[in-house]
A = this chain, B = another copy of it.
Amino acid sequence: MNSIIDTILNHRSIRKFTEQPLIAEHLDMIIDAARSSSTSSYLMAYTMIGVTDPEKKAALASISNQPYIKDNGHFVLFCGDYHRHMLKANEQEKVTMAYNVQSTEYFMIATVDATIAAQNMTVAAESLGIGACYIGSIKRDLDLVSDLFDLPEHVVPLFGLALGYPDEQQEIKPKLPKEAVYFENTYKDDVAHKAALEQFDKTIETYYRTRTTNKREDSWTKQMVKTLHNQRNDRLTPFVKEKKFNTR
């Protein structure tokens, strides 16, 4: 064990922050951590937009239905981005490039590039005592997010990171055990896989029954059935295509 692994193992999402904005030096360090990330084919197919404008933060809080976004120290929107790559290309080159980046593969690459950067930013932030929470629920209205930040074609918002100095100490939420998420040389057979999940369900039942707040009766597998019965936002698929991603 070392301090790095310790920081990663001690991760918990922070949703309550002091009003203090990020110290400028801290912000620069976590941006540098994000910029240092691995990238596929040197594409660096992502953009970060730091949000400090109180009106835009309020709008994001409302879109995401996460009020604490407007009271945090900082917010960073992560986007997949191929706009930049075409800026210096000629018109003919742009046509081919614009066609190619619309494949599923280039959509995956941009999503992976953006996420590696976001997780480096998160680990760097946590090492400085900054709390972080991924905000996937900006996807509830991507049209509005796009309008707010003037995103051109070939730029698609993926998720946000709420950042700030913590004003709470959350418990660490149990995660799937090694036996349920890490397999050796082949995918796990269903019988062993189910047994691992049943074991985890027992852990989770106890966790929900005994945690400090929001006690309830639930298990992981039951919760997943409920979650995956929720229809997600049907506007997302056409939105992504209108931004010229994932069309083919």
A106 / chain B contacts, CB cutoff of 8 Å: 232
A100 touches B183 (CB 8 A): no
- Of the candidates B35, B85, B115, which one forms a contact with A112 in the assembled complex, judged by CB atoms under 8 Å apart? B115
Contact (A49, B224) CB under 8 Å given A111-B108, A229-B93? no
A236 / chain B contacts, CB cutoff of 8 Å: 103-105
Copies of this chain assembled into the complex: 2
A112 touches B159 (CB 8 A): yes
B123 touches A31 (CB 8 A): no
- Of the candidates B32, B127, B152, B185, which one forms a contact with A53 in the assembled complex, judged by CB atoms under 8 Å apart? B185
Closest to A182 in B: B48
Interface residues of A in 59-75 (CB under 8 A from B): none
The total of chain A residues at the interface (CB under 8 A) is 112
A187 touches B47 (CB 8 A): yes
A194 touches B120 (CB 8 A): no
Interface residues of A in 94-126 (CB under 8 A from B): 96-97, 100-101, 103-106, 108-109, 111-112, 115-116, 118-120, 122-124
Interface positions of A (Cβ within 8 A of B): 1-5, 7-9, 11, 13, 28-29, 31-44, 46-53, 56, 82, 84-89, 93, 96-97, 100-101, 103-106, 108-109, 111-112, 115-116, 118-120, 122-124, 127-128, 133-134, 136, 139, 149-152, 155, 158-159, 172-173, 175-178, 180-187, 190, 193-194, 197-198, 220-221, 223-225, 227-233, 236-237, 240, 246, 248
